Amino acid sequence: MSEKLLEIKDLHVTVEDREILKGVDLSVGGGEVHAIMGRNGSGKSTLAHALAGREGYEVTGGAVLLGGRDLLAMEPDERAVAGLFLAFQYPTEIPGVATMTFLRSALNAQRKARGEAELSTPDFLRHVREAAGRLKIDADMLKRALNVGFSGGEKKRTEILQMAVFEPTLCVMDETDSGLDIDALKTVAEGVNAMRAPDRGFVVITHYQRLLNHIVPDFVHVFADGRIVESGGQELALELESKGYAAFDEKAA
Amino acid sequence: MNRLERPEIRLGAAEEALIGLLREAGADTAAERLRTDGLPTRRVEAYHFTDLKALIREVPATLAARAEPGKGVRIDGTAAIRLVNGRLVASDPAPAGVEVGTADADKPLGEAIPDVLAAALAPETAKIRITRDLEQPLHISIETEGAAAVSATRADIEVADGVAGTIVLTLSGSDAAHFVNAAVSVRLGAGARVTFVQIDEQGAAVRQIVHTDFRLAADASLRALTVNRGASLSRADLSARFDGAGAHADFTGLNLIGADQHADISLNVSHAVPDTTSQELFKSVVRGHAKAVFQGKIVVERGAQKTDAKMMAQGLILTEGAQVNHKPELEIFADDVVCGHGATCGELDAESLFYLMSRGIPRAEAESMLIEAFVAELIEPIEAQPVRALLAGLVAQWLGTAARAEAA
């Protein structure tokens, strides 16, 4: 259980010539849920995007290993194949690509790259329908173009649906709770909790403690000025909620 | 330094050859017109982005002779009428509800030099009259067969009042360096409902100029899709005139080109009477050093109140060195109308590409998905399954070629 899924060592990332991440260290083991909390602009989302390999996020120092492999040397698609999944804060609308077609292309691309057989149509449909049912996603929505015209909540639920379909080993959730009402939040949390497994890890990025009532973390990290300034258990989230982020600012200085 | 326009133009080898062919055909007036004007250059506004004189330096010295069908496109699930080297091939039986015949070559469809050439060089005019709803799409195949030649085709298509159907016009033939000129008129009777798809399936050595002229009577509805993708030079002139109230047309088009191809769709729509509507959507996908052009002109004539016309042009540039030129124009002579136009041009959306790749889809496949999505908006409204499958197939083929070229 203690084998580390994800190892981030002294990660430095520059965006448009500005250093945003200034030495991030984080280890996530199988079965663990890590929450990363911090105010806007502290670099939380930069960490998520850098892990996924977004263009323009230049790694200037440090290392990231996923399952012992050098994540930073991989293209974004190879990172997904290696088991990484990023649930986007703002999922991209892609007109002209039906959600179902997308899910199938992506799953088959991942399986093919791993040397696994493609899922048969009935197996694929069953797999998607089960996950969609748990997340209260209407089957009709899957026929529509990916994320196009979806409400904020529908977009977030579709992200979690993808997570359930692709079955990644490391899930990074970038402010999945933003823009969700309390019912949608519960649905999303249930979807995530259903996926908790000994061989899977989660990094949950959020502003608010609220989400962590539903997805209970094993570890909480406070992010400020591009690095983790405090780590602790679930109680740290409650402390943040009562004291605010300002109490941790001096640690960043 | 200003230079005065010279009264005498210098004729190139292509013009000399065409003048020779016109004289052989006994078309002295047309020959004289070409001698005086030459092929249009960029100084002629309608040819600003497609300088025919510069792009057509030479043409074959012979006019295409009578020939049998050869390598022309075949489309499953359609009934075909073949026009080979300008002549109707009599062997195929006409589909039910379609009358087919020929007449002497007709007067030009317009004033431009290519119209004059087509009318003067075409050996005959094919007359196609559709009198009943078409059970399956009608394929009109303009083919140029044999060794490299100049080939001209004239065809008149008439759709009777109230008749519905899908017509697919293809231009194809042998791989030789033909110069192909075609002029096709399409007349929609009152209440006729027509989908008209025109596809350039030419070999890479072909240069072609095709003029398609639409007339819509009252309450007629038309969906037109013009695709340029095969020829090294393809100029598609589209002209349309609304002659009766209640008529509607969707004019759409796609330039899907690469390497050193040059593809141009130039549309001229005239709303001549009140209460007519049109929507224009033109897309270009270009790679290599290809150049795509879309010119769209919507004219709302005096008194044509309640006209509603919206034109959009979108370009997708896949490689540095490829280019897209858009020129939308509105000329409005009535005051109670809704008209607009817009144009966008750019690369594949980086956000979308990253999103797809972050889900494990390799870059080349993600790019293909986005390109297919970009053109889907043009193909999806085509209801006739054989034609839609043909279009989807040719897009996939184009994308497949792209993947192979990258791997090489």
B182 bridge partner residues: B153, B210
pLDDT at B25 over 70: yes
pLDDT band at A3 (very low <50, low <70, confident <90, very high): low
CB contact under 8 A, B352 and A105: no
> Is residue B219 a contact partner of residue B247, using CB atoms and an 8 Å limit?
yes
Q: Which of A92, A95, A113 sits opposite B373 (nearest CB)?
A: A95
pLDDT at residue B228, as a whole number:
98
Q: What is the pLDDT of residues B199-247, one digit of tens each?
A: 999 999 999 999 999 999 999 999 999 999 999 999 999 999 999 999 9
Q: Which chain A residues have a beta carbon less than 8 Å from that of B374? A: 96
Q: Which two tokens stand for residue B229?
A: 């993708």
- Helix (H) or strand (E) run with residue A237 in it: helix A234-243
> Is residue B293 a contact partner of residue B49, using CB atoms and an 8 Å limit?
yes
- Give the C-alpha separation, B261 to B60, whole Å: 19
Q: Which chain B residues have a beta carbon less than 8 Å from that of A76? A: 354, 357-358
- Helix (H) or strand (E) run with residue B405 in it: helix B385-407
pLDDT at residue B295, as a whole number:
97
Q: What is the pLDDT of residues A227-250, one digit of tens each?
A: 999 999 999 988 888 888 887 776
How far from the centroid of its chain's Cα atoms is residue B204's Cα?
Answer: 16
- Specify the 3-state DSSP secondary structure of B229: coil
pLDDT at B405 over 50: no
Q: What is the pLDDT of residues B335-378, one digit of tens each?
A: 999 999 999 999 999 999 999 999 999 999 999 999 999 999 99
pLDDT at A125 over 90: yes
> Is residue A102 a contact partner of residue B356, using CB atoms and an 8 Å limit?
yes
pLDDT at residue B7, as a whole number:
62
User: Which of B356, B365, B370, B378 has the most A C-beta neighbours within 10 Å, making it the best mutation to test the interface with A?
Assistant: B356
pLDDT at residue A2, as a whole number:
44
Average pLDDT, chain B: 94
Q: Which two tokens stand for residue B257?
A: 């080109």
Neighbour count for residue B93 (Cβ, 10 Å): 9
In the block, residue with structure tokens 């009709």: A140
Per DSSP, helices labelled H in B63-216 are 113-121
pLDDT at residue B6, as a whole number:
53
pLDDT at residue A246, as a whole number:
83
pLDDT at residue B406, as a whole number:
43
Shortest Cα distance, chain A CAs vs residue B345, angstroms? 16
pLDDT at B395 over 70: yes
Average pLDDT over residues B160-167: 98
Q: Which two tokens stand for residue B10?
A: 């210098």
Query: In this structure, which amino acid lies at residue A233?
Result: G
Can you give the pTM of this predicted structure?
A: 0.92
Average pLDDT, chain A: 93
Q: What is the pLDDT of residues A70-94, one digit of tens each?
A: 999 999 999 999 999 999 999 999 9
pLDDT at A67 over 80: yes
A84 bridge partner residues: A170
Nearest alpha carbon to residue B292 among B311, B332, B319: B319
- Give the C-alpha separation, B358 to A87, whole Å: 10
Average pLDDT over residues A179-184: 88
In the block, residue with structure tokens 């449909």: A125
Tell whether B7 lies on the interface with A, counting CB pairs under 8 A: no
> Is residue B123 a contact partner of residue B52, using CB atoms and an 8 Å limit?
no
> Is residue A11 a contact partner of residue A23, using CB atoms and an 8 Å limit?
yes
Average pLDDT over residues A119-126: 92
- Give the C-alpha separation, B189 to B211, whole Å: 20
Shortest Cα distance, chain A CAs vs residue B226, angstroms? 20
Tell whether B396 lies on the interface with A, counting CB pairs under 8 A: no
pLDDT at residue B92, as a whole number:
67
Instruction: Tell me the CA distances in angstroms from B6 to B9, B36, B48, B56, B360, one per residue in order.
Output: 7, 12, 19, 21, 62
Report CA dihedral (B380, B384, B386, B387) to the nearest 10 degrees.
-60
DSSP B124: -
Residues in contact with A169: Cβ distance below 8 Å, sequence separation at least 6, in sequence order: A5, A66, A67, A83, A84, A199, A200, A201
CB contact under 8 A, A76 and B352: no
Q: What is the pLDDT of residues B65-124, one digit of tens each?
A: 999 888 789 999 999 999 999 999 976 677 889 999 999 877 899 999 999 999 999 999
CB contact under 8 A, A91 and B355: yes
> Is residue B56 a contact partner of residue B207, using CB atoms and an 8 Å limit?
yes
pLDDT at A252 over 70: no
Nearest alpha carbon to residue A37 among A235, A194, A199: A235
How, if at all, do strands B150-159 and A57-66 pair? unpaired
pLDDT at B35 over 60: yes
pLDDT at A51 over 60: yes
- Specify the 3-state DSSP secondary structure of B389: helix
Question: How many alpha carbons lie under 13 Å from residue B204 in its C-beta half-sphere?
Answer: 7
Query: In this structure, which amino acid lies at residue B28?
Result: D
Q: Which two tokens stand for residue B13?
A: 């080898």
Instruction: Tell me the CA distances in angstroms from B398 to A70, B168, B342, B369, one per residue in order.
Output: 36, 20, 27, 13
- Give the C-alpha separation, A145 to A102, whole Å: 9
Nearest-Cα residue of chain B relative to residue A92 = B352
Q: Which of B352, B359, B363 sits opposite A162 (nearest CB)?
A: B359
Q: Which chain B residues have a beta carbon less than 8 Å from that of A162? A: 359
Q: Which of B361, B366, B376 sits opposite A96 (nearest CB)?
A: B376
A12 bridge partner residues: A22, A61
- Give the C-alpha separation, B76 to A171, whole Å: 48
> Is residue B221 a contact partner of residue B166, using CB atoms and an 8 Å limit?
no
